[in-house]
Chains A and B, each alone.
Chain A
Amino acid sequence: MSEKLAEHLAGAPSGSSQPDKFAVRKLEFYYGDFHALTDITVGIQRHAVTAFIGPSGCGKSTFLRTLNRMNDLIPGTRVEGSVMLDRQDVYAAGIDPVDLRRRVGMIFQQPNPFPMSIYENVAYGPKLHGVKKKADLDEVVEKSLQRANLWKEVKDILGRGGLTLSGGQQQRLCIARVLAVEPEVLLMDEPCSAIDPTSVQKVEDLMAELKDRITIVIVTHNMQQAARVSDYTAFFLQEKVNEAAELIEFDRTATLFTSPKDRRTEDYITGRFG
Chain B
Amino acid sequence: MSGRRGVIDKRVTNAAALAVIWVCALTTVAFLGSLLLYVVINGIRELTPAFIFTWPHGVNMEGGIWPTIQSTIYVTVLAMVIVTPVAVLAAVYLAEYAVQGRLVRTIRFAADSLAAVPSIVMGLFGMALFVEGMGLQFSTLAGALALSFLMLPIVMRTTEEAIRAVPKYIRWGSYGLGASKWQTVSRIVLPAASPRILTGLLLAMGRAAGETAVVIYTMGTMIAAPVSPLDPGRTMPVHVMLMAMEGINLKAAYGTALLLVIMVLAFNLTARYIVRRNRRMQG
Contacts and interface: CB of A to CB of B under 8 A. Distances in A.
A170 to B, nearest CB: 11
A101 B178 contact: yes
Contacts of B172: 70, 73, 106, 108, 112
Contacts of B192: 114-115
B282 interface: yes
Interface string A107-125: 1101011111000000011
Interface residues of B, number: 19
Contacts of B167: 112
A133 interface: no
B248 interface: no
Interface stretch (B81-89, B102-110, B183-191, B249-257): B183-191
Interface stretch (A40-48, A174-182, A243-251): A174-182
B179 interface: yes
B177 A124 contact: yes
Contacts of B180: 98
Given A124-B187, A163-B282, A112 B170 contact: yes
B174 interface: yes
Interface residues of A, number: 29
Contact of B170 (A99, A100, A114, A181): A114
Contacts of A100: 178
Contact of A108 (B173, B187, B282): B173
A181 B178 contact: yes
A100 to B, nearest CB: 8
B173 A112 contact: yes
Given A68-B176, A99-B178, A101-B175, A114 B281 contact: no
A129 B176 contact: no
Given A124-B187, A174-B173, A161 B178 contact: no
A123 to B, nearest CB: 11
Interface of B: 167, 169-170, 172-180, 183, 187-188, 191-192, 281-282
15 contacts: A70-B172, A70-B175, A73-B175, A101-B176, A101-B178, A108-B173, A108-B176, A110-B169, A112-B170, A112-B172, A114-B174, A114-B188, A125-B177, A161-B281, A181-B177
Given A101-B176, A114-B188, 6 more contacts: A70-B176, A73-B172, A102-B177, A106-B172, A124-B177, A125-B179
Q: Which 7 A-B pairs have the closest CB atoms?
A: A102-B178, A106-B176, A125-B177, A112-B173, A112-B169, A101-B178, A115-B192
